[in-house]
Chain A
């Protein structure tokens, strides 16, 4: 089975910072990688699909990239609403999640 290792597990940053979260697959995979944002007590929200396609309605400060085994989610300029947990996904496997905290 393919494993998705997501890091860092916790990230402290400030409003306006540029941040990057990484998911590394245990073997080379297709670009069917999605990224979700989840706030406490809420369902996940799709941000990015097909590794780099922005879901409709998602702000353009979110972007995704990657191929092979390494995939990244970048937030270009953090906004207060972005402090949340982020999950990557490939097929039936999710990463462990990254909690983005205010520094």
Chain B
């Protein structure tokens, strides 16, 4: 079945970097845009970034622009999020999610989600 599995979370000191991965299976990964979404403890969902199906375009939330980079490796069915200059308010569960529509689409609906990986920023 269609599945996304995040990994790479952990406890990191403020100012350091961390990379997350999201392994996709059960669908044609290279046909779908992908998102990263996070959820701070006890808070709502916050969209982070989107990358087009072919990796040709990426867009970011203002809160992470210039610090986070979304990328993908379609040959290995894997999505990445590289996070620099981490701050305490980056502490959250990070989810990867699939765009509902294949190919180029302007909408952001997410139909397949991973279970999330927890990132804690603490000294």
Contact = CB atoms under 8 A, between A and B. Distances in A.
A49 B45 contact: no
Interface stretch (A11-19, A39-47, A76-84): A39-47
Nearest to A98: B44
- The number of chain A residues touching the other chain, given as a range, is 20 to 34
Contact of A87 (B44, B100, B108, B111): B44
B101 to A, nearest CB: 9
Interface in A67-92: 87, 89-92
Contact of B109 (A34, A45, A87): A34
- The number of chain B residues touching the other chain, given as a range, is 20 to 34
Contacts of B107: 32, 50, 91
A92 B45 CA distance: 10
Interface in A87-103: 87, 89-97
Contacts of A38: 45
B106 to A, nearest CB: 8
B110 interface: yes
B61 interface: yes
B109 A46 contact: yes
Contacts of A55: 111
A92 B109 contact: no
A87 B61 contact: no
Interface stretch (B8-16, B73-81, B112-120): B112-120
21 contacts: A32-B107, A32-B108, A32-B109, A34-B108, A34-B110, A43-B116, A44-B110, A45-B113, A46-B111, A49-B100, A50-B109, A87-B44, A87-B45, A89-B47, A89-B108, A89-B109, A93-B47, A94-B44, A94-B47, A97-B44, A97-B45
